[in-house]
């Protein structure tokens, strides 16, 4: 399938590793000029991105700085991928989180996207561009030990729908992707495996069962990147406001 993405200009947040890096690499392979933002510029990101930027995207001005950098270096933006996310606090349930824990969780997983979208929106509207928000299966399956993360990702999914309702008639396409367990250092961290009394290989093998994945297979970052590329292309022009569940069968409800 020809995606015809060559020459487009993209901004990807949380781009140094995992899903974000896979998205940057996939876009670059299609001839897209990519600005990737992350707190640390990994060698892989430096190699793949056209103009990487070291930036803390959880801060109030970080996402805006990244978009400004892209506009300066690329002359415009056609695609924004809000990928940055994760956990910045450790909590086993609701009462383990104070206001600061909630703030950190939402700054990283929700407000980073809000701020990046606010900064890029005029340019994206002018270019009839695309926004892809990387949400999570936990937006559909909240669990106590991930309470602030699940809530923030649910808010991100809701934001996707709201933006589509407001701007689809102006040619802006907004969609989200909600993966289940992806093969990143969340699961391959040796220290985490050691604390669990397991090897990394044992942890990775057990993840599909823990997550209730019908396929029995962990998702690879490149799978998420493939969905992002499809949504970024003109092949699915009516994919607006959609939340693309990439979960290996984790969610059992209709």
pLDDT at 178: 98
DSSP assignment of 206-224 equals HHHHHHT-TT--PBPHHHH
pTM for the model: 0.96
Residue 167 designated active-site = no
Three-state DSSP class for residue 12: strand
Please report, for the chain, the start and end positions of each structural domain, with discontinuous segments joined by +. Answer: 9-179+220-245, 183-218
Which uninterrupted H or E stretch holds 227? Answer: helix 221-232
Question: Is residue 89's pLDDT more than 80?
Answer: no
pLDDT at 142: 86
Question: Is residue 93's pLDDT more than 90?
Answer: no
pLDDT at 24: 98
CATH assignment of 9-179+220-245, among 1.20.58.1290, 3.40.50.10320, 3.90.230.10, 3.40.50.720: 3.40.50.720
User: How many angstroms separate the Cα of 248 from the Cα of each of 68, 92, 181, 199, 210?
Assistant: 37, 25, 9, 23, 12
Beta bridge partners of 177: 134, 244
Question: Is residue 37's pLDDT more than 90?
Answer: yes
| Alpha carbons 240 and 170: distance in angstroms, whole number | 12
b/e string for 149-162 if b means 16 or more Cβ within 10 A? bbbbbbbbbebbbe
Question: Is residue 30's pLDDT more than 80?
Answer: yes
pLDDT at 194: 94
Q: Which of 91, 98, 187 is nearest to 147 (CA)?
A: 91
The residues, ordered by sequence, that sit 6+ positions from 52 with a Cβ below 8 Å of its Cβ are 15, 35, 36, 37, 38, 41, 45, 46
Identified catalytic residue from 110, 111, 149, 244: 149
pLDDT at 90: 77
Q: Which of 31, 29, 30, 25 is nearest to 52 (CA)?
A: 25
Mean pLDDT of 217-245: 97
From 11-15, 52-56, 60-64, 184-188, the region with the lowest mean pLDDT: 184-188
Three-state DSSP class for residue 79: strand
| Alpha carbons 168 and 150: distance in angstroms, whole number | 26
Mean pLDDT of the chain, nearest integer: 96
- CA 246 vs. chain centroid, Å, equals 13
Q: Which of 229, 227, 183, 192 is nearest to 31 (CA)?
A: 229
Place of tokens 């490149």: 222
Determine contact, residues 214/231, Cβ cutoff 8 Å. no
Pairing between strand 33-38 and 9-13?
parallel
Mean pLDDT of 202-209: 96
Band of pLDDT at residue 7, cut at 50, 70 and 90: very high
Question: Is residue 27's pLDDT more than 80?
Answer: yes
pLDDT at 254: 84
């Amino acid at each position: 399938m020809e995606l015809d993405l060559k020459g487009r200009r993209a901004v990807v947040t949380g781009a140094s590793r995992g899903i974000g890096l896979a998205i940057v690499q996939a876009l670059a392979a299609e001839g897209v000029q990519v600005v990737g933002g992350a707190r640390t510029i990994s060698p892989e990101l430096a190699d793949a991105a056209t103009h990487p930027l070291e930036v803390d995207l959880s801060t109030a001005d970080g996402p805006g700085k990244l978009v400004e950098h892209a506009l300066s270096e690329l002359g415009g933006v056609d695609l924004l991928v809000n990928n940055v996310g994760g956990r910045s606090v450790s909590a086993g349930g609701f009462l383990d989180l104070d206001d600061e824990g909630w703030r950190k969780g939402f700054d990283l997983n929700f407000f980073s996207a809000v701020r990046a979208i606010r900064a890029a929106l005029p340019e994206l509207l002018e270019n009839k561009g695309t926004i892809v928000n990387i949400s999570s299966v936990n937006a559909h399956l909240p669990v106590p030990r991930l309470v602030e993360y699940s809530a923030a990702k649910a808010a991100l999914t809701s934001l996707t729908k709201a933006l589509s309702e407001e701007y689809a008639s102006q040619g802006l396409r907004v969609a989200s992707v909600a993966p289940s367990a992806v093969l990143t250092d969340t699961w391959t961290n040796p220290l985490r495996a050691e604390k669990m009394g397991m090897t990394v290989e044992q942890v990775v093998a057990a993840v599909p069962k823990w997550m209730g994945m019908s396929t029995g297979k962990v998702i690879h970052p490149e799978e998420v990147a493939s969905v992002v590329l499809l949504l970024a292309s003109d092949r699915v022009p009516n994919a607006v406001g959609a939340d693309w569940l990439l979960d290996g069968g984790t969610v059992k409800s209709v």
